Amino acid sequence: MITDWHTLNREPSLPGLYARAATRRKITGTTLPDSGLRCWVDVDPKRLAAYRKVCGFADNGLLPPTYPHILGFALQMQLLTTRDFPFPLLGLIHLSNRIRLLRPMGGVNRARVSVQVQNLQPHAKGATFDLLTTLDDQLGPLWEAQSRMLCRGVKLEGEPLEENLVTNLDMNEVEHWKAPSDIGRQYAKVSGDYNPIHLSAASARLFGFPTAIAHGLWNKARTLAALAGHLPVANVEIAVQFKKPVRLPSEVTLLASEPGASGDFQLVGVGELEHMVGHWRPVA
């Protein structure tokens, strides 16, 4: 697919995009737009420091491996609330996330973010698509991500494809932490992601959840912060599949294989409830 790229002069304003998202509640089609958005963004040191604190990353001079998601969030919001995007943003479910660190992300003060959607596929509960985000600096590609999203209720022809991320290495406990009741609000402040299902029990109940749940990307970020000594800083792909949501408040345990070029990890809750599985591998 050839993408029709639109370059913005500045990052979109999130309040207006949330207002637009709140008024879009219906499925309007089954074709993804072939346009993408690009914009140069600056890394705000204060926001970066706040993100490190909420997610547990040490300041080692590198951007945290999940931080480009924050740099691209406003562009993603704009793309997913355009008139030709067929699905309502509120209610989309994040099934999996895969990031590739192509080079060490040190000294990155300004970068170009690009976002697009593609790969619409039937699913047993509706349809999935991939939200692609890339980060480039003056030297070229630096980081890229693929987030697989589910929209319930979409009807597409074809056989649903099952995606299961397999972990096969021996794992041991690495760390145990609490996900407090306000972590959704803390993460929203540093990420801009104010999805109601993460903010409070009252707002989550409006969307069918008995209590607020942690952001999937906070779970991944907190996990990668704990695995900093296990992972390479570049030429690595880190994939996760989100399982049962982390209800707030909760306590979780991170299991992982030994440090190295490749490895597996798992985030579990009380009673070995599986919240997230993942692995890291060298970029192919």
Residues facing 282 on adjacent strands: 236
Q: How far apart are CA 131 and CA 87, in angstroms?
A: 13
Of the candidates 180, 167, 176, the one whose C-alpha atom is nearest the C-alpha of residue 213 is 180
Taking the model in full, what pTM does it have? 0.95
Q: How far apart are CA 2 and CA 34, in angstroms?
A: 7
DSSP state of 67: T
Q: Do residues 89 and 76 touch, judged by C-beta distance below 8 A?
A: no
Residues facing 159 on adjacent strands: none
Neighbour-count burial of 26, counting CB atoms closer than 10 A to its CB (0-12 exposed, 13-18 middle, 19+ buried): exposed
Q: How far apart are CA 53 and CA 278, in angstroms?
A: 23
Position 168 scores a pLDDT of 80
Helices (H), the chain: 14-22, 45-55, 68-80, 183-191, 201-205, 216-226
* pLDDT 10s digits, 37-47: 999 999 999 99
- Residues of the chain falling short of pLDDT 70: 1
* pLDDT 10s digits, 187-230: 999 999 999 999 999 999 988 889 999 999 999 999 999 999 99
Domains detected in the chain: 1-163 (3.10.129.10), 165-284 (3.10.129.10)
* pLDDT 10s digits, 117-127: 999 999 999 99
